[in-house]
Each structure stands twice: as structure tokens, then as C-alpha cells.
């Protein structure tokens, strides 16, 4: 009988060697995942969990669903045994406890996003973690709805937990706002642009051994004797044998095979990154949401510039912006150039922040013809009907008939404020629907005939290098476009400085974040931080352009 060489294969990208990460200073971390067995598998998180607990962190596992459908014991039986085995497994990895939210397994799409987010905000404010691990909110091609829903809820909760205006009643329990400095995301697919690991963590022998065992400790779903029995039967049909499996029971063979699987993927990630064992993640650092401030703190005084060679958009423009600062920081210089050339520019603000006088003043400083507010409240777009939001934007497109439309990019990675993604998605759909007579036919009775904007520009802050990478070079796929705004920098700065309340809030947030690690800015005033944000973004503005 021949000896078999076991090879477990998946389709994996050939990525360059990643930087090796270190456990940051801190005391507490949360792992927020939808299911009992998501803590350890091919794409994380078992090794990283063990690494954090070895460094002295206290960890808590937040399980979003009740896992009633995972196993063969019926809904009640699965729920009970899966919770018990999850608790055993994560404690074996060094974590303290499992917090189960108990939403129904595979029913999360019917749960309002704000309800899940509210629970996570409370937990973040209670435990005040330095790190959160979760599925990648910007990942593509994960077909499990619980994975997608939990990932988005985590990203939304992380930024909302730091905002005192969201769920202020929690402060009465002593749960003050908290910003999570470090985020580690993983994704169970190896294809598409939606998941690009940017950091690797080396695992030692002890961490690797615990990861391998924790994987099969979810016995109800991962330690079925039929797996070992089936593989050995298939080997026998091929006249093959694996010596290490000889003499083992089917249960013992299954256990061995499951551990080999964890060693195999960890060794593979290790080889790719120059170490023996590794796990890889999409890492969001402490100030990645404020890229200009991040670069200022790192003493990077010259932001990377994008070649600016595109022809400036011509004609009237409608800018859809979630918050007043968004369009100014990301597109203010380009719009100022258009306005200087005679183009009328209108701004449609989705969120009403209570400071319309400052928003109007900022628009006036830039030269905007009119600032229009839809009046939604901050942080509540997940509860708004996407169709309602789309149709309100559609109304303005038909009314103003802009040749050019600027919208938030709903595909921006590392964008934690999901209000921006919801607004961008609705605006993207509105651009198409506005030109079709079958959408909102009553509008035509009021004189708003179908109208399609000729050009579309997606904008966002440079939160992730993937933002400006087109997924294909076909004419209908948005392509990068960049514009030189050097001459417009004073006007852009003047417009941003007009948002005094928003600038002061950002400055307070930056000051509080820095204080946790004993750091501070020389000048932490709202104006000084605003100047850093404008100058630090450079003298070009970049977009993805889609022609009609």
C-alpha cells in the first residue's frame, strides 16, 4: 500500500510579504463574531487571540447568534451545546468569557442594523477595549448573511461608540464614549478586492498548538467521526495510507486531520511572510480614519501625490455629502476650480448636524450656489429606508439637472462611518434611477422629467490604497482621475475653517486619543487640527470617474 501525501488546497492569492505586527499596549480586547466556531479557523483568529492573551490582555468573545442551526441536535440542542463548547474553546485560548447576543442564526438580515449596533456600542463603552477583532466589514463574496451583518455592525459601532451624541443615555450608567484604537479584520474568501490583508502576526509553538486544538473543540460541528472515516475509506479505495492515522479511532483520526488543517494554513501563511507560523489580517490603526493627522504624527510632512492630469469636469455639479466636512476635505479644491470657471455647484447634505449656519458659511466660502439639507440625524441612516433616501436624492437630480454628480464612494475600505457608505450607495442608485421614467412617475406630474447626469465622480478620504484601484479597465468601470488644486488651497482651507463646531469636535477627539498614550499636539485647537487635515491631504484630489 502506498503512503499518501495529504495536501489541503484552496485558491489563494500570491501577495507580497507583509509587515509583522506586534501586540499593541493595552489591557482588553473584544472578538465580535456571529457564530460559536468563528474564533478559530483557516483565516484566524485563534492564533492572534492566544498572542493577545499571552501578552496579558483580558479577552471577551461576543457571539452574535444563537447557532441553533449549526449541528444535528435540533435547534434547542444545538444552541445549548454550541454555547458550552464555544466557552470551553475560547477559555482554552485564554479568553475570559462568552457574551451571547442570541439573535437567531441565519436571520440577521431581518434584524435592524441599529439594534445590533446599539448592543455593541454598550459593550465597547463598558469594556473599553484597545483592540477589536471581527470579520471584514468591507469584504466581498462572503455568502453567509450573518458574517456580513455582524461585520458591518462592528464597524458602525466602533465609530459610534466614540460619539457622545449617539445613545447618550448610556452615560447615565457610567458608560462614557470610547474610541477603539486598533482593529483586526479577517475574511473567509481569497478572491476579489474586498479583502486585502496588510499585516501578519507570527505565532510561536504554544500559540500554534492552542489554535489547532481550539479549532476542533467545537466538537458538535468539527469533531464528527464520519470525517476521519470517510477520508480513510477514500484512501483505501486509492490503495493509499497515512501512517499517522493508522491505529486511531475515527474520532481520533478526525481530531488529527483537523489539527493538521490548522497547521497547514498557518505554515502556508508563515512561508509567505518569512516565519514558521502566521496569521494575516486587515489592520486598521489608531489614526487611519484621520489620514492627515496620522501622517502628521508620523512626521510625514509631504503626502504622496497622485499625478493630476485629468480634464476638469465641465458644467453644473451636484455634490451629495453625508456630513458638511466630507465634500470639503475630499473634493473642495476641485469644486473651487469648477466654480472659478463659472460652473454652478449645489451641495446636498444628508445629515443635519445642527450647525446649518456654519455649513452655509463653508459653502459660501467655497463659492457654492446653494447648500440643501435632507435633515437626517447622525448615525441613524441604517434605520432609514434606502429607497426613501434614494428617491430624495433623485428628486434633487431631476430638479437641478446637474451635468456632473459627486457622491461618497460606497466601496471605500476602512471607512468606519457607515452613514457615508449608506449615503453613497443611495446616491449611486439615484443617479441611474433619475434617468428612468419608471422611477417615481408622480415626479413628472410636478414637472420633474427623467434626467441623467453625464458624469459621476466617487470621492472619499484616502483611507485605504485600494480606493483608487479600478477593478477592470473596461470603459464602463470607474477609472481614477486626479486634479491639481494648489491654487485653490486657500479657498478650501477657508471653507473647512468655517466649520468651527465640527473642527472643535475632531480636535477634542484627537486630544483624547493621544492622551491615552501620553502624547499631545503642540496646538490642539480646532483651527490647528483643521489646518493639519487640509494641508496633510496634499495638493491633488483624487476620484473614481464614471462616464454615462
- Residue 122 pLDDT exceeds 90: yes
pLDDT classification of 468: cutoffs 50, 70, 90: low
Bridge partner residues of 347 (DSSP): 319, 371
Most confidently modeled of 227-231, 251-255, 312-316, 335-339? 335-339
Angle value at C-alpha 218, between 98 and 145, nearest 5 degrees: 75
Residue 303 pLDDT: 60
Residue 69 pLDDT: 64
Residue 353 pLDDT: 81
Share of the chain above pLDDT 70, in %: 92
Residue position matching grid coordinates 470657471: 341
Higher pLDDT, 221 or 345: 345
CA-CA-CA-CA dihedral for 468, 470, 475, 481, to nearest 10: 10
Domains contained in the chain, CATH given: 2-12+22-284 (3.40.50.10320), 302-547 (3.40.50.10320)
Please compute the mean of the pLDDT values over residues 392-412 and round it to a whole number. Answer: 96
- Residue 5 pLDDT exceeds 50: no
Neighbours of 298 (CB within 10 A): 9
Mean pLDDT score of the chain: 89
Higher pLDDT, 412 or 9: 412
CA-CA distance, 30 to 289, in Å (whole number)? 20
Least confident of 19-33, 81-95, 107-121, 134-148: 134-148
Residue 316 pLDDT: 97
283 near 184, Cβ under 8 Å? yes
Residue position matching grid coordinates 485558491: 11
CA-CA distance, 421 to 408, in Å (whole number)? 7
Please compute the mean of the pLDDT values over residues 343-354 and round it to a whole number. Answer: 94
Residue 11 pLDDT: 40
Query: What's the per-residue H, E or C state across 355-385?
Result: CHHHHHHHHHHHCCCEEEEEEECCCCHHHCC
Amino acid at each position: 500500500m502506498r503512503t499518501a501525501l495529504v495536501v489541503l488546497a484552496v485558491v489563494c492569492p500570491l501577495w507580497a510579504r507583509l509587515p509583522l505586527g506586534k501586540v499593541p499596549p493595552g489591557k482588553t480586547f473584544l472578538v465580535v463574531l456571529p457564530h460559536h466556531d468563528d474564533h478559530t479557523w483557516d483565516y484566524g483568529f485563534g492564533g492572534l487571540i492566544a498572542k493577545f492573551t499571552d501578552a496579558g490582555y483580558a479577552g471577551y468573545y461576543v457571539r452574535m447568534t444563537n447557532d441553533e442551526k449549526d449541528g444535528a441536535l435540533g435547534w434547542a440542542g444545538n444552541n445549548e451545546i454550541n454555547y458550552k463548547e464555544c466557552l470551553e474553546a475560547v477559555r482554552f485560548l485564554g479568553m475570559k468569557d462568552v457574551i451571547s447576543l442570541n439573535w437567531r442564526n441565519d436571520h440577521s438580515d431581518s434584524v435592524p442594523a441599529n439594534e445590533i449596533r446599539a448592543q455593541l456600542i454598550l459593550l465597547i463603552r463598558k469594556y473599553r477595549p484597545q483592540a477589536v477583532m471581527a470579520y471584514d466589514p468591507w469584504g466581498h463574496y462572503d455568502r453567509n448573511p450573518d458574517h456580513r451583518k455582524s461585520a458591518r455592525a462592528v464597524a458602525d459601532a466602533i465609530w459610534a461608540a466614540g460619539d457622545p451624541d449617539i445613545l447618550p443615555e448610556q452615560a447615565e450608567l457610567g458608560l462614557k464614549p470610547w474610541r477603539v484604537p486598533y482593529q483586526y479584520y479577517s475574511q473567509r474568501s481569497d478572491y476579489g478586492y474586498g479583502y486585502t490583508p496588510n499585516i501578519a502576526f507570527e505565532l510561536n509553538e504554544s500559540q500554534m498548538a492552542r489554535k489547532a486544538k481550539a479549532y476542533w473543540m467545537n466538537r458538535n460541528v468539527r469533531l464528527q467521526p464520519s470525517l476521519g472515516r470517510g477520508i480513510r475509506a477514500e484512501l483505501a479505495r486509492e490503495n493509499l495510507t497515512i501512517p499517522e492515522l493508522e491505529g486511531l479511532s475515527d474520532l481520533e483520526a478526525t481530531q488529527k486531520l483537523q489539527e493538521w488543517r490548522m497547521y497547514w494554513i498557518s505554515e502556508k501563511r508563515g512561508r509567505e511572510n518569512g516565519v514558521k507560523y502566521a496569521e494575516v489580517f486587515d489592520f486598521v490603526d489608531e489614526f487611519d480614519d484621520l489620514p492627515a493627522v496620522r501622517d502628521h504624527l508620523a512626521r510625514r510632512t509631504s503626502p504622496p501625490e497622485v499625478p493630476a492630469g485629468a480634464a476638469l469636469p465641465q458644467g453644473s455639479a451636484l455634490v451629495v455629502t453625508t456630513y458638511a466636512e466630507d465634500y470639503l476635505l475630499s473634493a473642495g479644491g476641485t469644486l473651487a476650480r469648477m466654480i472659478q470657471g463659472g460652473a454652478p455647484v449645489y451641495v446636498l447634505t444628508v445629515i443635519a448636524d445642527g450647525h446649518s449656519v456654519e455649513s452655509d458659511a463653508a459653502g459660501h466660502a467655497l463659492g457654492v450656489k446653494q447648500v440643501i439639507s435632507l435633515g437626517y440625524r447622525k448615525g441613524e441612516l441604517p434605520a432609514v429606508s434606502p429607497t426613501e433616501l434614494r428617491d430624495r436624492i433623485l428628486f434633487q437630480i431631476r430638479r437641478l439637472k446637474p451635468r456632473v454628480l459627486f457622491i461618497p464612494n460606497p466601496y471605500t475600505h476602512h471607512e468606519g462611518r457607515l452613514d457615508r457608505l449608506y449615503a453613497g450607495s443611495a446616491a449611486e442608485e439615484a443617479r441611474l434611477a433619475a434617468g428612468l421614467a419608471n422611477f417615481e412617475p408622480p415626479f413628472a406630474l410636478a414637472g420633474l422629467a427623467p434626467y441623467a447626469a453625464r458624469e459621476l465622480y466617487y470621492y472619499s478620504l484616502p483611507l485605504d490604497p485600494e480606493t483608487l484601484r479600478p477593478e477592470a479597465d473596461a470603459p464602463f468601470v470607474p477609472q481614477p482621475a486626479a486634479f491639481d488644486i494648489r491654487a485653490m488651497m486657500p479657498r478650501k482651507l477657508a471653507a473647512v475653517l468655517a466649520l468651527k463646531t465640527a473642527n472643535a469636535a475632531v480636535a477634542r477627539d484627537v486630544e483624547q486619543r493621544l492622551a491615552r498614550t501620553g502624547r499631545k499636539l503642540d496646538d490642539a485647537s480646532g483651527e490647528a487640527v483643521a489646518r493639519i487635515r487640509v494641508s496633510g491631504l496634499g495638493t491633488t484630489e483624487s476620484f473614481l470617474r464614471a462616464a454615462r
